[in-house]
Structure 1
Amino acid sequence: MAACEKLLVLYTGGTIGMQQSADGLAPASGFEARVRAQQSEEGQDQLPDWIFSELLPPIDSANMSQANWLAMVDAIVEGIEQHSCDGVLVLQGTDTLAYSAAALSFLLLGLPVPVVLTGAMLPAGTEGSDAWGNLFGAMRALHQGQASGVQVYFNGALMHGARVSKLQSDAFDAFTVLPRQRISPRAGQIPQAIDYRQARHPVNIAVLPFYPGIQAEHISALLGSGVQALLLECYGSGTGPSDNAALLTALETAHARGVVLAAISQCPQGHVEFGVYAAGSQLQAAGLVSAGGMTREAALGKLFSLLGAGLEPKEVEHWFNLDLCGERAD
């Protein structure tokens, strides 16, 4: 793990760089000058040299989309291949930071340099803000040397990019990695078809929780909307309304025509193990593939990366079942 000597700082917007507008806090450009001024004022040492790139327009992360993730990937690869950067720091808002970290974990498979994401709960310059601590802390962590892969730096902690979740909306330690059982074989190697050089395209993915009273018509309408994959948030260890024959038939029919069906647990510290209950076994028979202990963010990002690479449904299910970057196994 060599120390980062030249860092790409990729600014996408978010609270960390927001300024007051007539409608309240809003994303703002010009953040590079503010960062350099603050670095000079604090006399920050042990930081790598860095160059700045900004995705325009800067956005509130509530507006994050697949297109934004793909733009991030392009900017990151450009910084490494054209500007010889040996580390990347991505700045974005916290609302979808865990989703971005998970998506980039899979979109950047095989990338030879470390990528760290951070943001802030309060804008830079606000009294008591965590912005400069997170930003310069992440820079120092990269300068000290990190393994390749994606991580999140927040409140002094480095966390695995495909395992982290935001659990609090108003605290500096908003992000954490919950213990979730992760037992899955590790992929022997990352094939070229899904490494970071593979072009991706947007895909149609939906997420739906099971809940008491859910109807087959609800799922049929969603499956009939053109989705390529449906991520179902199941109860407990992967159960659902197994006495609803119409619902199970809707899932079976969609799976037969090539819709990828995946299951995660609604429990923050849960994992899917279909064979524990008959209700889970019936979902498996309908075509659902288990996400094991993956988070919603990781499962969604993984489906996007695999489907976006143009893989066939069976190939998607194959790679979804394997651990690609530490998301499914410790």
Structure 2
Amino acid sequence: MAEILLLHTGGTIGMAPGPDGLAPAKGLVEAAARRLAPADARLTLHVFDPLVDSSAIGPDHWNAMLEAIDTFATRCADMPGRAGVIITHGTDTMAFTGAALAQALAGLPMPVLLCGSMQPLGMKGDAEGNLKLALDAVRDGPAGVRLAFNGAIMAAAGLVKHNSQEADAFRSVPQAPLAGPYRRRRFADRRLAVLTLSPGLPAGALAGALAELDGAVLRVYGAGTAMDDPKLEAALAQAVQRGCRIRAVSQCEEGGLSPGSYAAGALLWRAGVENGGPETPEAALARLWIELSD
């Protein structure tokens, strides 16, 4: 018999209409999972209390997910190939959680399927189909963290939510392979953020943000360029010198960075900014968080 842990965190999939709009409702996901689960699977339920809208998800919630997964994995250690985890989660921060869990669980010999929906259960939308897809895929899928959504199973390490309304809301950008073997990883109390260059951005505004952070992902232009501003370079260099790690990624969804291709990017590398290569902002943030937590 297959063992499946269903970890319900919250999100649209388990919401119901209320006076102020959709809000988390207890019992919806649990009942649907029991109804849709394969007959030869034993379901273990772990439900966040209170349920969390994904807009509020952060490192403490990632750690809670990791604790539940570790406990389940230990219990099922003598059942290789017959145990897996499904995490129901809201779509707004699915890409952040996907990147965080993919990196924290690298090397875990067990499939972990993220699942969510654009419409709640019981509203004739995509919820039932996505949940059934995850329940079927988690029994036979390979180890690693993936997303079950809109009829597809995709790697969670490089998720991009590209549509805020339609069922085809996600795609996955290929990322560098994640190294094992598995070891316990958690997200420490650090101050990190994703920052974005834009035309006319005052160097002082960037410096002020960096002064509050232990690390930052900096979304730069194209293959790795930035405006030619000595004050901007100084702000980046001063932050790096005091120990703030800054990792650059492209504002383009695919293609990544290519340091040295353009002179306009030289100031980034002179200042000590790290090259995030093909990483999505979410993947780069997870990498920094994990490395600053070790």
With the shorter chain as reference, the TM-score category is over 0.9
Q: 1:270–1:46: structure 2 CA closer, same or farther, 3 Å change rule?
A: farther
- For 1:283 and 1:47, locate their aligned partners in 2 and report how far apart those are by CA, in whole Å: 55
Counterpart of 2:219, as a letter, is E
Counterpart of 1:131, as a letter, is A
Q: How many Å apart are 1:32 and its aligned residue? A: 5.1
- For 2:20 and 2:75, locate their aligned partners in 1 and report how far apart those are by CA, in whole Å: 39
1:155 aligns with 2:155: no
- Could you list the runs of 5+ residues in structure 2 that have no partner in the other structure? none
Task: Tell me the TM-score normalized by structure 2.
Answer: 0.92
Q: 1:51–1:199: structure 2 CA closer, same or farther, 3 Å change rule?
A: same
> In the alignment, is the contact (CA less than 8 A) between 2:12 and 2:90 conserved in 1?
yes
- For 1:37 and 1:66, locate their aligned partners in 2 and report how far apart those are by CA, in whole Å: 29
Q: Which residue of 2 aligns with 1:137?
A: 133
Deviation string for 1:217-262 (max 9, x for gaps)? 011101211x1111110000011012x1111011111111111111
Aligned pairs for 1:141-290 (under 5 A) are 141-143=137-139, 145-178=140-173, 190=180, 195-225=182-212, 227-242=213-228, 244-290=229-275
- For 2:132 and 2:171, locate their aligned partners in 1 and report how far apart those are by CA, in whole Å: 20
Q: 1:38–1:284: structure 2 CA closer, same or farther, 3 Å change rule?
A: same
Structure 1 runs of 4+ aligned residues shifted over 6 Å read none
Counterpart of 1:306, as a letter, is E
CA-atom RMSD, angstroms? 2.0
> In the alignment, is the contact (CA less than 8 A) between 1:273 and 1:280 conserved in 2?
no
Counterpart of 2:10, as a letter, is G
> In the alignment, is the contact (CA less than 8 A) between 2:214 and 2:244 conserved in 1?
yes
Equivalent residue of 1:171, what SS? coil
Deviation string for 1:173-197 (max 9, x for gaps)? 111124x6x6x6x67x547xxx541
Counterpart of 1:137, as a letter, is L
The match for 2:59 among 58, 61, 66 is: 66
> In the alignment, is the contact (CA less than 8 A) between 1:12 and 1:59 conserved in 2?
yes
Deviation string for 1:257-297 (max 9, x for gaps)? 11111100001223111100112122111111111111111
Q: How many Å apart are 1:47 and its aligned residue? A: 6.0
- Could you list the runs of 5+ residues in structure 1 that have no partner in the other structure? 310-330
Task: Tell me the TM-score normalized by structure 1.
Answer: 0.82
Identity across the alignment (%): 37
Equivalent residue of 1:125, what SS? coil
Q: How many Å apart are 1:58 and its aligned residue? A: 0.5
Counterpart of 1:308, as a letter, is S
> In the alignment, is the contact (CA less than 8 A) between 1:47 and 1:139 conserved in 2?
no
- For 1:119 and 1:162, locate their aligned partners in 2 and report how far apart those are by CA, in whole Å: 16
Counterpart of 1:99, as a letter, is F
Q: How many Å apart are 1:92 and its aligned residue? A: 0.6
- For 2:263 and 2:74, locate their aligned partners in 1 and report how far apart those are by CA, in whole Å: 51
Equivalent residue of 1:293, what SS? coil
Q: Which residue of 2 aligns with 1:327?
A: none
- For 2:67 and 2:200, locate their aligned partners in 1 and report how far apart those are by CA, in whole Å: 43
Q: Which residue of 2 aligns with 1:7?
A: 4
Q: Which residue of 2 aligns with 1:88?
A: 85
> In the alignment, is the contact (CA less than 8 A) between 2:156 and 2:172 conserved in 1?
no
